[in-house]
Amino acid sequence: MHLVKAASGAVLALVLSACSVADNAGGVTTEMLVNAASDNADWLTYGRDYAEQRYSPLDQINLENVGELGLAWHADMDTARGQEATPLVIDGKIYVTTAWSKVKAYNAATGEPLWDYDPQVPGETAVKACCDVVNRGLAAYGDKLYLGTLDGRLVALDRETGKEVWSKVTVDQSKPYTITGAPRVVAGKVIIGNGGAEYGVRGYVTAYDAESGDQAWRFYVVPGGPEEEGTEPEYLAKARETWNGEWWKLGGGGTVWDSMAYDPELDLLYIGTGNGSPWNQAYRSPGGGDNLYLSSIVAVRPETGEYVWHYQTTPGETWDFTATQHIMLADLEIDGRTRKVLMQAPKNGFFYVIDRETGELISADNYVPQNWTTGIDMTTGRPIEVAEARYDKTGKPFVSTPGAGGAHSWHPMAFSPSDGLVYIPVIEAAFPYFPEANWKPDAKRGFNVGIDQAAGGMPAVEAVREGAAASTKGALIAWDPVTQTERWRVQYPGPWNGGLLATGGGLLFQGTAAGQFKAYSASDGSEKWSFAAQTGVIAPPITYSIDGEQYVAVMAGWGGIWALAPGGILNETSGPVPNISRLLVFKLGGTDKLPDAPPLVRRPLDPPAFTGDPAKLTQATYDYGRYCGACHGDAVIGSTVLPDLRRSAVLNSAESWQMIVHDGALEQNGMVSFADSLSKERIEGIRQYVIFRANQDKQMGGIGAQE
């Protein structure tokens, strides 16, 4: 299950020496990053420290006085899409990224704007983004900030002025790569991954010199084409033995689009890798195989990118069960001795505790109900799969719990050392996998996942819709990683609730899909405070201190994949919320007020009559599912973030519809031309399908119409 190489003490000494040389006097240093857990004032890196625990010892705001917490200041953002970023706080200034990869700096105590930076990401890049045009944050080192942009650049900014210092294109921009994750800085190198496995790419991480921007190394997650055989590193040669067919033609996947962590003592960088491209292994790797290093946690040397060990959570991945979810490090007492562990709750529904020095699996148990396995074989470390779950082999549909959305997505967890608990923002939702016979990839547009994305669409049947909504939920759970048991739970009516922050004040902060920002007791989950944020809060909070005063900050703004693809039946189980994007900052006795929230107004559901050929609806339904549904909602049940096509005035005009979908009239907004994939006849077929669906929902008296 895992291979191990040991680093000599001499190599480790050289790495630490190199770190010291690379440090910039007067700015953020390697020493500061290594010791970030003891810095109570700032928030220097994505997870606060290299262990990514998202725990702050600050306790001025605590269980006794959190009821006095008030808004200190707020800042409106200029992007109305999902806000997922973790702010950084350095020397009294707060730095945030927004949707479309923009950066803003403020005085962290007063909210005074200091500067902003717009990388001018082309609007058409949105078509490459599976999961909204989001960005999760920055890295800091020396006098610079580092940003990954949606169109695949790594940009260094002067931290004081926001001026661009250097910019490097990290991907082949002719392919559907994107960057939404936050970079990390280790050993004077900026490390960045990428996304795009839903469309067809090969995943990797790249390290760049923090000062010059020169590339230091690149680590590919999956093997390349036949031309690389015999010249590739040993770890890729071993991986090649676990693949079949011509996977390289669609990249193979394995993108590192989110989580990383670093252990300075072991000098190991841990990366989480993503799903296969396409999902359906029957098309990606006919005949099976583990398909290394998909859905894995991989340990590498940050100085060189050398492979050290891996643990694969989902061998032969075929369900979009990524292992890109939050990786967290801690030292735990297990069976009478202290273990250096790595913890992860990936999409597949199991919580893993792994020896972070060797990659040995210590324990694993499901943290949500699941039906794709009967458990984990602790001898091999592999899931014991249920035969029916392998839709890629049976050729039959399978409804999986968890589904492609995962039991836990990108939303960060938190760890409380005092309580010994990991807090997980959980998703409870099933997903139907319908294998598609004779599937063919489309290198130009649309998802390339190897399943029929329309076959599992929400039917126009009230009872089915109500049942699906009732079974789709979210939760905040406190998990004991030593005993692998749930300690307590806060149940939510819907998924896609925010990331987490634990503090020394005994508090746990989290935003919700329903538009609340809440504080709970970390020990028992009792609610202690709530603030009406006027929009869904999905980003993780942070806390910091200036002149002895503690602040809590969070980005607010509904969006991300769950706010788009599942459609309003499922993504509004917590209630419909608009996107009102802001940075919210709180302190004890804060007196700032948000302006009154504008009413959520939707266009009437008043479609024209269906005039299409009923015999062509099957093809049109398929086309919509493959090319449109990820943004405009399953079964054309739109969201509050992007246009609900059932309500669009453009439905009334075949000519206007063609101008947008065929000609790309709204390309600058992300609605690019689909002429390379769809004929005008099929584009008109999609319009007629949308009209058909809109009339169905209107006749159902508003089910799915959200009137």
Last residue of a domain, one of 471, 503, 535: 503
Q: Are residues 293 and 421 in the same domain?
A: yes
Instruction: Tell me the per-residue pLDDT of 272-284, one tens digit each, with 9 for 90 and over.
Output: 999 999 999 999 9
Is-contact 527 536, C-beta < 8 A? no
Query: What CA–CA distances, in Å, run from 388 to 107, 260, 433?
Result: 56, 33, 11
> Does the pLDDT value for residue 19 go beyond 50?
no
Helices (H), 169-269: 234-240
- Give the CATH number of the domain where residue 444 resides: 2.140.10.10
Tokens representing residue 85 in the block: 């970023």
Confidence of residue 508 (pLDDT cuts 50, 70, 90): very high
Query: What CA–CA distances, in Å, run from 688 to 175, 377, 653, 681, 701?
Result: 31, 50, 11, 11, 20
Q: Is residue 563 part of a domain?
A: no
Q: Is residue 169 part of a domain?
A: yes
Q: Is residue 689 part of a domain?
A: yes
Query: What CA–CA distances, in Å, run from 569 to 21, 316, 459, 575?
Result: 56, 32, 11, 10
- Average of per-residue pLDDT across 474-492: 99
Alpha-carbon span 23 to 517, nearest angstrom: 38
> Does the pLDDT value for residue 17 go beyond 90?
no
Q: What is the pLDDT of residue 462?
A: 87
> How large is the C-alpha radius of gyration of the chain?
24
Instruction: Tell me the per-residue pLDDT of 533-564, one tens digit each, with 9 for 90 and over.
Output: 999 999 999 999 999 999 999 999 999 999 99
Nearest to 565 by CA among 479, 509, 632, 623: 632
- Give the CATH number of the domain where residue 631 resides: 1.10.760.10
> Does the pLDDT value for residue 704 go beyond 90?
no
- Average of per-residue pLDDT across 60-78: 99
Range of the domain at 657: 614-699
> Does the pLDDT value for residue 145 go beyond 50?
yes
Which residues 6+ apart lie within 8 Å of 180 measured at CB? Answer: 84, 129, 131, 134, 135, 136, 148, 150, 195, 257, 258
Last residue of a domain, one of 449, 477, 503: 503
Q: What is the pLDDT of residue 15?
A: 41
Q: What is the pLDDT of residue 197?
A: 97
Nearest to 43 by CA among 104, 100, 108, 103: 108
Confidence of residue 3 (pLDDT cuts 50, 70, 90): very low
Confidence of residue 4 (pLDDT cuts 50, 70, 90): very low
- Average of per-residue pLDDT across 28-49: 97
3-state class of 31 per DSSP? helix
212: β partners: none
CB atoms within 10 A of CB 384: 11
pLDDT cut 70: percent of the chain above it: 95
- Using H for helix, E for strand and C for coil, what is the string for 525-569? CCEEEEEECCCCCCCCCEEEEECCEEEEEEEECCCCHHHCCCCHH
Nearest to 592 by CA among 537, 633, 535, 551: 551
Residue that the structure tokens 């130009």 belong to: 444
List, edge to edge, every strand of the sheet that includes 582-588: 69-76, 582-588, 549-556, 542-546
Instruction: Tell me the per-residue pLDDT of 207-220, one tens digit each, with 9 for 90 and over.
Output: 999 999 999 999 99
3-state class of 165 per DSSP? strand
Q: Is residue 150 part of a domain?
A: yes
Q: Is residue 33 part of a domain?
A: yes
pLDDT cut 90: percent of the chain above it: 88
Active site residues: 320
Is-contact 58 550, C-beta < 8 A? yes
Half-sphere exposure of 590 (CA within 13 A, CB side): 26
Q: Is residue 147 part of a domain?
A: yes
> Does the pLDDT value for residue 20 go beyond 50?
no
Nearest to 170 by CA among 185, 144, 148, 187: 148
Domain count, the chain: 2
Q: What is the pLDDT of residue 569?
A: 84
Q: What is the pLDDT of residue 1?
A: 39
Query: What CA–CA distances, in Å, run from 51 to 54, 343, 472, 482, 652?
Result: 8, 10, 32, 18, 55
Residue type, 656: S
Alpha-carbon span 222 to 117, nearest angstrom: 35
Confidence of residue 9 (pLDDT cuts 50, 70, 90): very low
Query: What CA–CA distances, in Å, run from 131 to 197, 241, 401, 457, 616?
Result: 12, 32, 21, 18, 29
Please provide the average confidence, as pLDDT, over all residues in the chain: 94
Q: What is the pLDDT of residue 701?
A: 75
> Does the pLDDT value for residue 16 go beyond 70?
no
Instruction: Tell me the per-residue pLDDT of 221-266, one tens digit each, with 9 for 90 and over.
Output: 999 999 999 999 999 999 999 999 999 999 999 999 999 999 999 9
> Does the pLDDT value for residue 619 go beyond 80?
yes
> Does the pLDDT value for residue 459 go beyond 90?
no
Q: Is residue 565 part of a domain?
A: no
Q: Are residues 641 and 496 in the same domain?
A: no
- Using H for helix, E for strand and C for coil, what is the string for 48-67? CCCCCCCEECCCCCCCCCHH
Helix (H) or strand (E) holding 12: helix 9-22
Instruction: Tell me the per-residue pLDDT of 120-142, one tens digit each, with 9 for 90 and over.
Output: 999 999 999 999 999 999 999 99
Last residue of a domain, one of 479, 503, 527: 503
Model pTM above 0.75:
yes
Q: Are residues 628 and 490 in the same domain?
A: no
| 562 vs 383: which has the higher pLDDT | 383
Q: Are residues 499 and 648 in the same domain?
A: no
Q: Given the DSSP bridges, would you call strands 500-503 and 55-56 parallel, antiparallel or unpaired? A: parallel
b/e sequence 137-175, b meaning 16+ C-beta within 10 Å: bbbbbbbbbbbbbbbbbbbbbebeebeebbebebbeeeb
Helix axes 680-699, 654-661, angle to 10 degrees: 120
Q: Are residues 621 and 492 in the same domain?
A: no
Residue type, 250: L
Q: Is residue 456 part of a domain?
A: yes
Q: What is the pLDDT of residue 8?
A: 36
388, burial (CB in 10 Å: exposed 0-12, middle 13-18, buried 19+): middle
Q: What is the pLDDT of residue 702?
A: 59
Which residues 6+ apart lie within 8 Å of 422 measured at CB? Answer: 328, 343, 345, 351, 413, 414, 415, 478, 479, 480, 481
